[in-house]
Structure 1
Amino acid sequence: MSNAEKFSVVLPVYNEQDNLQTLFAEIRAAADSTGRPWEAVFVDDCSTDRSLAIIRELAEAHPEVRYVAFAENRGQSAAFCAGFDAVDSDIVVTMDADLQNDPSDIPDMLAAFGRDCEMVIGWRAKRRDTFIKRISSRIANKIRDSIVDDGVHDTGCSLKVMRTDLLRRIPRFKNMHRYFPILMKMEGARIHEVKVNHRQRGAGVSKYGTLDRALAGIWDLIGVKWLITRHIGYTVKEKK
Protein backbone atom coordinates (compact mmCIF):
# COMPACT_ATOMS: atom_id res chain seq x y z
CA MET A 1 0.00 0.00 0.00
CA SER A 2 1.29 3.44 -0.94
CA ASN A 3 2.18 5.73 1.95
CA ALA A 4 0.19 8.45 0.18
CA GLU A 5 -3.05 6.44 0.17
CA LYS A 6 -5.82 8.29 1.97
CA PHE A 7 -7.75 6.76 4.87
CA SER A 8 -10.96 7.67 6.68
CA VAL A 9 -11.61 7.28 10.41
CA VAL A 10 -15.30 6.54 11.01
CA LEU A 11 -16.62 7.31 14.50
CA PRO A 12 -20.20 6.63 15.68
CA VAL A 13 -21.12 9.08 18.44
CA TYR A 14 -23.88 8.99 21.01
CA ASN A 15 -23.62 11.33 24.02
CA GLU A 16 -19.83 11.60 24.14
CA GLN A 17 -19.51 15.38 24.58
CA ASP A 18 -16.74 15.12 27.19
CA ASN A 19 -14.55 12.90 25.02
CA LEU A 20 -14.72 14.40 21.54
CA GLN A 21 -12.15 17.20 21.77
CA THR A 22 -9.52 14.91 23.30
CA LEU A 23 -10.41 12.12 20.90
CA PHE A 24 -9.94 14.26 17.82
CA ALA A 25 -6.63 15.67 19.10
CA GLU A 26 -5.34 12.12 19.55
CA ILE A 27 -6.63 11.02 16.14
CA ARG A 28 -5.01 14.01 14.47
CA ALA A 29 -1.64 13.33 16.09
CA ALA A 30 -1.74 9.66 15.07
CA ALA A 31 -3.04 10.31 11.56
CA ASP A 32 -0.56 13.09 10.81
CA SER A 33 2.30 10.83 11.90
CA THR A 34 1.52 8.45 9.01
CA GLY A 35 2.27 11.10 6.37
CA ARG A 36 -0.89 10.13 4.50
CA PRO A 37 -3.96 12.22 3.68
CA TRP A 38 -6.86 11.42 5.98
CA GLU A 39 -10.27 12.46 7.19
CA ALA A 40 -12.38 11.89 10.28
CA VAL A 41 -16.08 11.19 9.69
CA PHE A 42 -18.19 11.55 12.84
CA VAL A 43 -21.71 10.08 12.77
CA ASP A 44 -23.92 11.53 15.48
CA ASP A 45 -26.64 9.06 16.44
CA CYS A 46 -29.08 11.76 17.58
CA SER A 47 -27.18 12.60 20.78
CA THR A 48 -29.10 14.38 23.53
CA ASP A 49 -26.06 16.22 24.90
CA ARG A 50 -23.71 18.70 23.15
CA SER A 51 -21.97 16.07 21.02
CA LEU A 52 -23.31 17.38 17.71
CA ALA A 53 -22.48 20.98 18.60
CA ILE A 54 -18.89 19.97 19.38
CA ILE A 55 -18.65 17.99 16.14
CA ARG A 56 -19.83 21.06 14.22
CA GLU A 57 -17.14 23.14 15.95
CA LEU A 58 -14.48 20.58 15.00
CA ALA A 59 -15.68 20.61 11.39
CA GLU A 60 -15.50 24.41 11.29
CA ALA A 61 -11.98 24.46 12.69
CA HIS A 62 -10.45 21.46 10.89
CA PRO A 63 -10.81 20.66 7.17
CA GLU A 64 -10.19 16.97 7.88
CA VAL A 65 -13.46 16.68 9.83
CA ARG A 66 -16.76 15.77 8.19
CA TYR A 67 -19.94 14.57 9.84
CA VAL A 68 -23.33 12.97 9.41
CA ALA A 69 -26.11 13.70 11.92
CA PHE A 70 -29.08 11.35 12.30
CA ALA A 71 -32.60 12.72 12.77
CA GLU A 72 -33.37 9.88 15.18
CA ASN A 73 -31.41 7.36 17.22
CA ARG A 74 -30.68 4.36 14.97
CA GLY A 75 -27.89 2.50 16.76
CA GLN A 76 -24.21 1.84 16.25
CA SER A 77 -24.50 -0.39 13.19
CA ALA A 78 -26.55 2.22 11.33
CA ALA A 79 -24.02 4.88 12.30
CA PHE A 80 -21.15 2.78 10.95
CA CYS A 81 -23.03 2.20 7.68
CA ALA A 82 -23.72 5.91 7.26
CA GLY A 83 -20.03 6.56 7.80
CA PHE A 84 -19.03 3.93 5.23
CA ASP A 85 -21.34 5.57 2.69
CA ALA A 86 -19.92 9.02 3.43
CA VAL A 87 -16.17 8.34 3.33
CA ASP A 88 -13.98 9.65 0.54
CA SER A 89 -11.23 7.02 0.52
CA ASP A 90 -10.59 3.35 -0.18
CA ILE A 91 -9.56 2.57 3.41
CA VAL A 92 -11.75 2.80 6.50
CA VAL A 93 -10.55 2.85 10.10
CA THR A 94 -13.32 2.25 12.64
CA MET A 95 -13.19 3.06 16.34
CA ASP A 96 -15.41 4.00 19.27
CA ALA A 97 -15.75 7.57 20.49
CA ASP A 98 -15.43 6.74 24.20
CA LEU A 99 -11.59 6.97 24.28
CA GLN A 100 -11.20 3.30 25.21
CA ASN A 101 -9.67 2.65 21.79
CA ASP A 102 -6.25 4.29 21.47
CA PRO A 103 -5.72 6.27 18.24
CA SER A 104 -1.95 5.83 18.60
CA ASP A 105 -2.47 2.22 17.42
CA ILE A 106 -3.72 3.41 14.03
CA PRO A 107 -0.28 3.78 12.32
CA ASP A 108 0.78 0.20 13.14
CA MET A 109 -2.56 -1.16 11.96
CA LEU A 110 -2.29 0.77 8.70
CA ALA A 111 1.23 -0.54 8.23
CA ALA A 112 -0.09 -4.10 8.52
CA PHE A 113 -3.00 -3.43 6.17
CA GLY A 114 -2.53 -4.50 2.57
CA ARG A 115 0.22 -7.01 3.30
CA ASP A 116 -1.76 -10.06 2.16
CA CYS A 117 -4.85 -8.89 4.01
CA GLU A 118 -7.90 -6.74 3.42
CA MET A 119 -8.82 -6.32 7.08
CA VAL A 120 -6.79 -5.61 10.23
CA ILE A 121 -8.44 -6.16 13.60
CA GLY A 122 -7.35 -4.79 16.95
CA TRP A 123 -6.82 -7.40 19.66
CA ARG A 124 -7.34 -6.01 23.16
CA ALA A 125 -5.00 -8.44 24.93
CA LYS A 126 -5.41 -6.51 28.21
CA ARG A 127 -9.03 -5.42 28.59
CA ARG A 128 -9.81 -2.40 30.80
CA ASP A 129 -13.53 -3.07 31.12
CA THR A 130 -15.39 -3.86 34.33
CA PHE A 131 -15.21 -7.41 35.69
CA ILE A 132 -18.84 -8.12 34.77
CA LYS A 133 -18.35 -6.87 31.23
CA ARG A 134 -15.19 -8.96 30.76
CA ILE A 135 -16.86 -12.14 32.01
CA SER A 136 -20.02 -11.61 29.96
CA SER A 137 -17.90 -10.96 26.87
CA ARG A 138 -15.95 -14.17 27.37
CA ILE A 139 -19.12 -16.20 27.69
CA ALA A 140 -20.67 -14.52 24.67
CA ASN A 141 -17.50 -15.06 22.63
CA LYS A 142 -17.44 -18.78 23.40
CA ILE A 143 -21.07 -19.16 22.39
CA ARG A 144 -20.52 -17.11 19.24
CA ASP A 145 -17.39 -19.05 18.27
CA SER A 146 -19.24 -22.36 18.63
CA ILE A 147 -21.83 -21.19 16.11
CA VAL A 148 -20.07 -18.59 13.95
CA ASP A 149 -16.31 -19.12 14.05
CA ASP A 150 -14.61 -16.08 12.54
CA GLY A 151 -11.14 -17.22 13.66
CA VAL A 152 -10.17 -14.03 15.51
CA HIS A 153 -9.40 -13.41 19.18
CA ASP A 154 -11.34 -10.18 19.71
CA THR A 155 -14.14 -9.58 17.23
CA GLY A 156 -15.67 -7.00 19.62
CA CYS A 157 -12.79 -4.52 19.33
CA SER A 158 -14.08 -1.54 17.34
CA LEU A 159 -10.59 -0.55 16.19
CA LYS A 160 -10.36 -2.06 12.71
CA VAL A 161 -8.94 -1.21 9.28
CA MET A 162 -10.96 -2.39 6.28
CA ARG A 163 -11.35 -1.94 2.55
CA THR A 164 -14.18 0.44 1.75
CA ASP A 165 -15.46 -1.45 -1.28
CA LEU A 166 -15.87 -4.66 0.72
CA LEU A 167 -17.59 -2.83 3.57
CA ARG A 168 -20.14 -1.41 1.19
CA ARG A 169 -20.97 -4.91 -0.08
CA ILE A 170 -21.60 -6.75 3.18
CA PRO A 171 -25.18 -7.37 4.41
CA ARG A 172 -26.59 -4.62 6.62
CA PHE A 173 -28.66 -5.32 9.72
CA LYS A 174 -28.93 -4.23 13.34
CA ASN A 175 -25.83 -5.21 15.38
CA MET A 176 -23.94 -6.15 12.23
CA HIS A 177 -20.88 -4.33 13.62
CA ARG A 178 -20.35 -7.25 16.01
CA TYR A 179 -19.85 -9.55 13.02
CA PHE A 180 -17.60 -7.52 10.74
CA PRO A 181 -14.89 -10.24 10.57
CA ILE A 182 -17.13 -13.06 9.34
CA LEU A 183 -19.09 -10.71 7.05
CA MET A 184 -15.84 -9.45 5.50
CA LYS A 185 -14.58 -13.02 5.15
CA MET A 186 -17.73 -13.83 3.19
CA GLU A 187 -16.64 -11.13 0.73
CA GLY A 188 -13.18 -12.66 0.42
CA ALA A 189 -11.24 -10.58 2.95
CA ARG A 190 -8.12 -11.99 4.56
CA ILE A 191 -7.69 -10.93 8.19
CA HIS A 192 -4.66 -9.94 10.24
CA GLU A 193 -4.71 -9.19 13.99
CA VAL A 194 -2.63 -6.56 15.81
CA LYS A 195 -2.45 -6.26 19.60
CA VAL A 196 -3.70 -2.84 20.66
CA ASN A 197 -3.99 -0.74 23.78
CA HIS A 198 -7.31 -0.64 25.61
CA ARG A 199 -8.13 2.09 28.12
CA GLN A 200 -10.67 2.63 30.85
CA ARG A 201 -13.55 4.93 30.01
CA GLY A 202 -12.67 8.37 31.36
CA ALA A 203 -15.98 10.19 30.83
CA GLY A 204 -19.55 9.35 29.94
CA VAL A 205 -21.28 6.03 30.50
CA SER A 206 -21.48 2.76 28.61
CA LYS A 207 -24.45 2.57 26.23
CA TYR A 208 -24.84 -1.21 26.48
CA GLY A 209 -26.09 -3.53 29.20
CA THR A 210 -25.24 -7.20 29.53
CA LEU A 211 -28.72 -8.78 29.46
CA ASP A 212 -29.99 -6.83 26.45
CA ARG A 213 -26.85 -7.66 24.51
CA ALA A 214 -27.19 -11.36 25.35
CA LEU A 215 -30.82 -11.54 24.24
CA ALA A 216 -30.18 -9.64 21.03
CA GLY A 217 -27.09 -11.76 20.41
CA ILE A 218 -29.13 -14.96 20.23
CA TRP A 219 -31.17 -13.64 17.33
CA ASP A 220 -28.07 -12.20 15.68
CA LEU A 221 -26.27 -15.55 15.80
CA ILE A 222 -29.20 -17.32 14.19
CA GLY A 223 -29.38 -14.71 11.46
CA VAL A 224 -25.64 -14.63 10.77
CA LYS A 225 -25.46 -18.43 10.68
CA TRP A 226 -28.25 -18.38 8.10
CA LEU A 227 -26.38 -15.78 6.04
CA ILE A 228 -23.23 -17.91 6.06
CA THR A 229 -25.02 -21.06 4.92
CA ARG A 230 -26.94 -19.21 2.18
CA HIS A 231 -24.15 -16.92 0.98
CA ILE A 232 -23.54 -16.81 -2.78
CA GLY A 233 -19.95 -16.37 -3.90
CA TYR A 234 -18.40 -16.76 -7.35
CA THR A 235 -15.30 -15.98 -9.38
CA VAL A 236 -15.61 -14.75 -12.95
CA LYS A 237 -13.35 -16.65 -15.35
CA GLU A 238 -14.11 -14.68 -18.48
CA LYS A 239 -16.54 -12.10 -19.83
CA LYS A 240 -17.04 -9.89 -22.84
Structure 2
Amino acid sequence: MNNTEKFSVVLPVFNEQDNLQSLFAEIRSAADATGRPWEAVFVDDCSTDNSLSIIRGLADEYSEVRYVAFAENRGQSAAFCAGFDAAESDIVVTMDADLQNDPADIPDMLAVFGSECEMVIGWRAKRKDTFIKRISSKIANAIRDGLMDDGVHDTGCSLKVMRTDLLRSLPRFKNMHRYFPILMKMQGARIKEVKVNHRERATGVSKYGTLDRAMAGIYDLIGVKWLINRHIEYTVKEKK
Protein backbone atom coordinates (compact mmCIF):
# COMPACT_ATOMS: atom_id res chain seq x y z
CA MET A 1 0.00 0.00 0.00
CA ASN A 2 1.13 3.54 -0.75
CA ASN A 3 2.21 4.98 2.61
CA THR A 4 1.15 8.46 1.54
CA GLU A 5 -2.44 7.44 0.73
CA LYS A 6 -5.22 9.45 2.35
CA PHE A 7 -7.38 7.89 5.06
CA SER A 8 -10.73 8.77 6.65
CA VAL A 9 -11.46 8.37 10.36
CA VAL A 10 -15.18 7.61 10.73
CA LEU A 11 -16.72 8.32 14.13
CA PRO A 12 -20.36 7.67 15.09
CA VAL A 13 -21.43 10.10 17.81
CA PHE A 14 -24.35 10.01 20.21
CA ASN A 15 -24.25 12.32 23.25
CA GLU A 16 -20.47 12.55 23.60
CA GLN A 17 -20.15 16.32 24.08
CA ASP A 18 -17.54 16.06 26.85
CA ASN A 19 -15.23 13.83 24.80
CA LEU A 20 -15.20 15.37 21.33
CA GLN A 21 -12.65 18.16 21.77
CA SER A 22 -10.10 15.88 23.42
CA LEU A 23 -10.84 13.08 20.98
CA PHE A 24 -10.21 15.24 17.94
CA ALA A 25 -7.00 16.64 19.43
CA GLU A 26 -5.71 13.07 19.87
CA ILE A 27 -6.83 12.04 16.38
CA ARG A 28 -5.15 15.08 14.86
CA SER A 29 -1.88 14.34 16.66
CA ALA A 30 -1.88 10.67 15.61
CA ALA A 31 -3.02 11.35 12.03
CA ASP A 32 -0.46 14.12 11.45
CA ALA A 33 2.27 11.78 12.72
CA THR A 34 1.58 9.40 9.81
CA GLY A 35 2.57 12.03 7.25
CA ARG A 36 -0.50 11.14 5.21
CA PRO A 37 -3.43 13.31 4.16
CA TRP A 38 -6.48 12.50 6.28
CA GLU A 39 -9.94 13.55 7.28
CA ALA A 40 -12.23 12.98 10.25
CA VAL A 41 -15.86 12.24 9.41
CA PHE A 42 -18.14 12.63 12.42
CA VAL A 43 -21.65 11.19 12.13
CA ASP A 44 -24.00 12.61 14.71
CA ASP A 45 -26.77 10.13 15.46
CA CYS A 46 -29.29 12.83 16.49
CA SER A 47 -27.58 13.63 19.80
CA THR A 48 -29.69 15.36 22.44
CA ASP A 49 -26.74 17.18 24.03
CA ASN A 50 -24.32 19.71 22.45
CA SER A 51 -22.38 17.15 20.41
CA LEU A 52 -23.52 18.49 17.03
CA SER A 53 -22.67 22.07 17.96
CA ILE A 54 -19.17 21.01 18.96
CA ILE A 55 -18.74 19.05 15.73
CA ARG A 56 -19.87 22.08 13.71
CA GLY A 57 -17.29 24.17 15.55
CA LEU A 58 -14.53 21.68 14.76
CA ALA A 59 -15.57 21.66 11.09
CA ASP A 60 -15.43 25.45 10.99
CA GLU A 61 -11.96 25.51 12.55
CA TYR A 62 -10.27 22.54 10.87
CA SER A 63 -10.36 21.72 7.16
CA GLU A 64 -9.86 18.03 7.94
CA VAL A 65 -13.23 17.79 9.71
CA ARG A 66 -16.43 16.90 7.89
CA TYR A 67 -19.69 15.67 9.34
CA VAL A 68 -23.07 14.09 8.70
CA ALA A 69 -25.98 14.84 11.04
CA PHE A 70 -28.97 12.48 11.21
CA ALA A 71 -32.51 13.86 11.48
CA GLU A 72 -33.44 11.00 13.81
CA ASN A 73 -31.59 8.43 15.90
CA ARG A 74 -30.71 5.43 13.73
CA GLY A 75 -28.04 3.56 15.69
CA GLN A 76 -24.33 2.91 15.39
CA SER A 77 -24.45 0.72 12.29
CA ALA A 78 -26.38 3.32 10.32
CA ALA A 79 -23.92 5.99 11.48
CA PHE A 80 -20.97 3.89 10.34
CA CYS A 81 -22.58 3.35 6.94
CA ALA A 82 -23.24 7.06 6.51
CA GLY A 83 -19.59 7.68 7.31
CA PHE A 84 -18.45 5.10 4.76
CA ASP A 85 -20.60 6.75 2.11
CA ALA A 86 -19.25 10.20 2.98
CA ALA A 87 -15.56 9.16 3.15
CA GLU A 88 -13.37 10.76 0.49
CA SER A 89 -10.58 8.20 0.57
CA ASP A 90 -9.97 4.53 -0.18
CA ILE A 91 -9.09 3.70 3.45
CA VAL A 92 -11.42 3.96 6.45
CA VAL A 93 -10.40 3.91 10.10
CA THR A 94 -13.34 3.30 12.45
CA MET A 95 -13.41 4.09 16.14
CA ASP A 96 -15.78 5.02 18.95
CA ALA A 97 -16.21 8.58 20.18
CA ASP A 98 -16.08 7.71 23.90
CA LEU A 99 -12.24 7.97 24.19
CA GLN A 100 -11.89 4.29 25.11
CA ASN A 101 -10.20 3.62 21.77
CA ASP A 102 -6.76 5.25 21.62
CA PRO A 103 -6.04 7.24 18.42
CA ALA A 104 -2.32 6.74 19.08
CA ASP A 105 -2.78 3.17 17.78
CA ILE A 106 -3.79 4.40 14.32
CA PRO A 107 -0.26 4.79 12.83
CA ASP A 108 0.75 1.22 13.72
CA MET A 109 -2.48 -0.19 12.31
CA LEU A 110 -2.06 1.75 9.08
CA ALA A 111 1.49 0.43 8.80
CA VAL A 112 0.12 -3.14 8.84
CA PHE A 113 -2.79 -2.43 6.49
CA GLY A 114 -2.20 -3.40 2.88
CA SER A 115 0.55 -5.88 3.74
CA GLU A 116 -1.33 -8.91 2.43
CA CYS A 117 -4.51 -7.80 4.16
CA GLU A 118 -7.52 -5.62 3.48
CA MET A 119 -8.59 -5.26 7.11
CA VAL A 120 -6.74 -4.62 10.36
CA ILE A 121 -8.57 -5.16 13.65
CA GLY A 122 -7.64 -3.79 17.04
CA TRP A 123 -7.31 -6.41 19.76
CA ARG A 124 -8.04 -5.06 23.25
CA ALA A 125 -5.83 -7.53 25.11
CA LYS A 126 -6.35 -5.61 28.37
CA ARG A 127 -9.90 -4.29 28.39
CA LYS A 128 -10.90 -1.49 30.75
CA ASP A 129 -14.63 -2.16 30.78
CA THR A 130 -16.68 -3.02 33.84
CA PHE A 131 -16.63 -6.61 35.12
CA ILE A 132 -20.21 -7.24 33.96
CA LYS A 133 -19.48 -5.89 30.51
CA ARG A 134 -16.34 -8.04 30.16
CA ILE A 135 -18.15 -11.21 31.26
CA SER A 136 -21.15 -10.59 29.00
CA SER A 137 -18.77 -9.94 26.12
CA LYS A 138 -16.92 -13.22 26.74
CA ILE A 139 -20.20 -15.14 26.76
CA ALA A 140 -21.37 -13.44 23.57
CA ASN A 141 -18.03 -14.13 21.87
CA ALA A 142 -18.17 -17.80 22.85
CA ILE A 143 -21.67 -18.17 21.40
CA ARG A 144 -20.71 -16.31 18.23
CA ASP A 145 -17.55 -18.37 17.76
CA GLY A 146 -19.59 -21.54 18.11
CA LEU A 147 -21.85 -20.50 15.25
CA MET A 148 -19.36 -18.70 13.02
CA ASP A 149 -15.59 -18.55 13.18
CA ASP A 150 -14.34 -15.16 12.01
CA GLY A 151 -10.82 -16.01 13.19
CA VAL A 152 -10.27 -12.93 15.37
CA HIS A 153 -9.87 -12.40 19.10
CA ASP A 154 -11.85 -9.19 19.52
CA THR A 155 -14.67 -8.67 17.04
CA GLY A 156 -16.19 -5.95 19.23
CA CYS A 157 -13.26 -3.53 19.10
CA SER A 158 -14.40 -0.54 17.04
CA LEU A 159 -10.85 0.45 16.13
CA LYS A 160 -10.40 -1.04 12.67
CA VAL A 161 -8.80 -0.17 9.33
CA MET A 162 -10.65 -1.30 6.21
CA ARG A 163 -10.93 -0.76 2.49
CA THR A 164 -13.71 1.68 1.64
CA ASP A 165 -14.88 -0.14 -1.48
CA LEU A 166 -15.38 -3.39 0.44
CA LEU A 167 -17.25 -1.60 3.22
CA ARG A 168 -19.63 -0.02 0.75
CA SER A 169 -20.45 -3.43 -0.72
CA LEU A 170 -21.42 -5.04 2.61
CA PRO A 171 -25.05 -6.01 3.28
CA ARG A 172 -26.53 -3.37 5.58
CA PHE A 173 -28.65 -4.11 8.63
CA LYS A 174 -28.99 -3.06 12.27
CA ASN A 175 -25.98 -4.07 14.41
CA MET A 176 -23.96 -5.07 11.36
CA HIS A 177 -20.93 -3.30 12.87
CA ARG A 178 -20.61 -6.19 15.35
CA TYR A 179 -19.98 -8.52 12.41
CA PHE A 180 -17.56 -6.52 10.26
CA PRO A 181 -14.85 -9.25 10.29
CA ILE A 182 -17.03 -12.08 8.97
CA LEU A 183 -18.83 -9.75 6.55
CA MET A 184 -15.51 -8.46 5.21
CA LYS A 185 -14.21 -12.03 4.87
CA MET A 186 -17.27 -12.78 2.75
CA GLN A 187 -16.07 -9.99 0.45
CA GLY A 188 -12.66 -11.64 0.18
CA ALA A 189 -10.82 -9.54 2.75
CA ARG A 190 -7.75 -10.91 4.49
CA ILE A 191 -7.52 -9.88 8.15
CA LYS A 192 -4.68 -9.11 10.54
CA GLU A 193 -4.87 -8.15 14.22
CA VAL A 194 -2.88 -5.57 16.18
CA LYS A 195 -2.92 -5.30 19.96
CA VAL A 196 -4.22 -1.88 20.96
CA ASN A 197 -4.63 0.22 24.06
CA HIS A 198 -8.04 0.34 25.71
CA ARG A 199 -9.02 3.01 28.21
CA GLU A 200 -11.69 3.49 30.83
CA ARG A 201 -14.57 5.76 29.93
CA ALA A 202 -13.84 9.09 31.63
CA THR A 203 -17.07 10.96 30.84
CA GLY A 204 -20.52 10.15 29.52
CA VAL A 205 -22.33 6.84 29.82
CA SER A 206 -22.31 3.61 27.83
CA LYS A 207 -25.07 3.41 25.22
CA TYR A 208 -25.53 -0.34 25.69
CA GLY A 209 -26.97 -2.40 28.53
CA THR A 210 -26.15 -6.07 28.98
CA LEU A 211 -29.63 -7.61 28.60
CA ASP A 212 -30.73 -5.58 25.59
CA ARG A 213 -27.42 -6.24 23.90
CA ALA A 214 -27.65 -9.98 24.57
CA MET A 215 -31.17 -10.27 23.18
CA ALA A 216 -30.31 -8.27 20.07
CA GLY A 217 -27.14 -10.32 19.67
CA ILE A 218 -29.03 -13.64 19.59
CA TYR A 219 -31.45 -12.30 16.99
CA ASP A 220 -28.58 -10.94 14.88
CA LEU A 221 -26.61 -14.19 15.09
CA ILE A 222 -29.49 -16.11 13.53
CA GLY A 223 -29.70 -13.61 10.67
CA VAL A 224 -25.96 -13.45 10.05
CA LYS A 225 -25.64 -17.23 10.16
CA TRP A 226 -28.38 -17.43 7.53
CA LEU A 227 -26.55 -14.83 5.45
CA ILE A 228 -23.28 -16.77 5.63
CA ASN A 229 -24.97 -20.04 4.64
CA ARG A 230 -26.72 -18.37 1.69
CA HIS A 231 -23.70 -16.38 0.50
CA ILE A 232 -22.97 -16.77 -3.23
CA GLU A 233 -19.39 -17.29 -4.41
CA TYR A 234 -18.15 -18.19 -7.87
CA THR A 235 -14.97 -18.29 -9.93
CA VAL A 236 -15.04 -17.25 -13.56
CA LYS A 237 -13.26 -19.70 -15.87
CA GLU A 238 -13.46 -17.50 -18.93
CA LYS A 239 -15.64 -14.86 -20.54
CA LYS A 240 -15.86 -12.93 -23.75
- TM over 0.5, yes or no? yes
Superposition pairs for residues 72-87 of structure 1, below 5 Å? 72-87=72-87
Superposition pairs for residues 52-91 of structure 1, below 5 Å? 52-91=52-91
1:235 is displaced (CA, Å) by 3.2
> Normalization by structure 1: what TM-score?
0.99
Partner of 2:2: 2
1:224 is displaced (CA, Å) by 0.3
Which structure 1 segments of 5+ residues have no match? none
Partner of 2:231: 231
Partner of 1:130: 130
Letter of the aligned partner of 2:156 in structure 1?
Answer: G
Cα separation, partners in 2 of 1:211 and 1:125, compared to 1, 3 Å: same
What secondary structure is seen at the aligned counterpart in 2 of 1:166? Answer: helix
Letter of the aligned partner of 2:203 in structure 1?
Answer: A
Superposition pairs for residues 1-240 of structure 1, below 5 Å? 1-240=1-240
Letter of the aligned partner of 1:136 in structure 2?
Answer: S
Letter of the aligned partner of 1:70 in structure 2?
Answer: F
- The separation in 1 between residues aligned to 2:132 and 2:110, in whole angstroms, is 32
Write the deviation string for residues 59-91 of structure 1: whole angstroms up to 9, x where unpaired.
000000000000000000000000000000000
- The separation in 2 between residues aligned to 1:52 and 1:45, in whole angstroms, is 9
- The separation in 1 between residues aligned to 2:65 and 2:22, in whole angstroms, is 14
Letter of the aligned partner of 1:141 in structure 2?
Answer: N
> How many residues are matched?
240
- The separation in 1 between residues aligned to 2:113 and 2:166, in whole angstroms, is 14
- The separation in 2 between residues aligned to 1:189 and 1:94, in whole angstroms, is 16
Write the deviation string for residues 15-55 of structure 1: whole angstroms up to 9, x where unpaired.
00000000000000000000000000000000000000000
1:220 is displaced (CA, Å) by 0.3
1:2 is displaced (CA, Å) by 1.1
1:239 is displaced (CA, Å) by 3.5
- The separation in 1 between residues aligned to 2:236 and 2:199, in whole angstroms, is 45
Sequence identity percentage: 85
- The separation in 2 between residues aligned to 1:237 and 1:27, in whole angstroms, is 46
> Which runs of 4 or more aligned residues in structure 1 lie more than 3 Å from their structure 2 counterparts after TM superposition?
235-240
- The separation in 2 between residues aligned to 1:125 and 1:234, in whole angstroms, is 37
Letter of the aligned partner of 2:59 in structure 1?
Answer: A
1:148 is displaced (CA, Å) by 1.5
What secondary structure is seen at the aligned counterpart in 1 of 2:46? Answer: coil
1:234 is displaced (CA, Å) by 2.3
Cα RMSD (Å) = 0.7
- The separation in 2 between residues aligned to 1:236 and 1:121, in whole angstroms, is 30
> Normalization by structure 2: what TM-score?
0.99
1:12 is displaced (CA, Å) by 0.1
What secondary structure is seen at the aligned counterpart in 1 of 2:28? Answer: helix
What secondary structure is seen at the aligned counterpart in 2 of 1:97? Answer: coil
Cα separation, partners in 2 of 1:37 and 1:235, compared to 1, 3 Å: farther
1:237 is displaced (CA, Å) by 4.0
Write the deviation string for residues 156-192 of structure 1: whole angstroms up to 9, x where unpaired.
0000000000001111000000000000000000000
What secondary structure is seen at the aligned counterpart in 2 of 1:126? Answer: coil
